[in-house]
Amino acid sequence: MSTWRQTGMRVAGSAVAVLVLGCSSPGNVFSVAPGDCFDDPDNAVDEISDVPLVDCEEPHDNEVYAVVELEDGDYPGDEAVLNRAQDTCLDAFEPYVSEPYATSELFATWLVPTEGSWSEGDREVVCVLFDADGPLEGSMQDSGR
């Protein structure tokens, strides 16, 4: 079974914001798309394959705002994957939210392939936003938050 490792950060301060996901009403992390919303699980895990999808109109913890395909080839290493994920997810933030990341009240994180899932052909980075102050309500697309 393929799994992804998750990580993320808030640029203004370099504090790492770890997104913790798991299974509930599962949606496979390999089939989520921008605009999908999901909640955090009760149990913390480092590698995931499913997320508990919810209707974005209901209060929710996270929203997918981009899915980015990394270049094919040999696994470039954890640091290279994380750096590429950070760059692409931060670039994709403003076009989705309609607010620059540096001035947004929202935070970003990303799900990245592990070395094991990379060897199985996984190349997608899933970019996710959340509000550290509490649940989101409605989609954050074009919210200006």
Task: Provide the residue ranges of all domains of the chain, joining segments of one domain with +.
Answer: 4-130
Mean per-residue pLDDT, 38-45: 72
Please say if the pLDDT value at position 130 is more than 70.
yes
67-74: list long-range contacts, CB under 8 Å, 24+ apart.
67/32, 67/33, 67/34, 67/124, 67/125, 67/126, 67/127, 68/92, 68/124, 68/125, 68/127, 69/123, 69/124, 69/125, 70/113, 70/123, 70/124, 70/125, 71/123, 72/123
Please say if the pLDDT value at position 5 is more than 70.
no
> pTM to 2 decimals?
0.81
pLDDT value of position 20: 34
pLDDT tens column, 73-100: 999 999 999 999 999 999 999 999 999 9
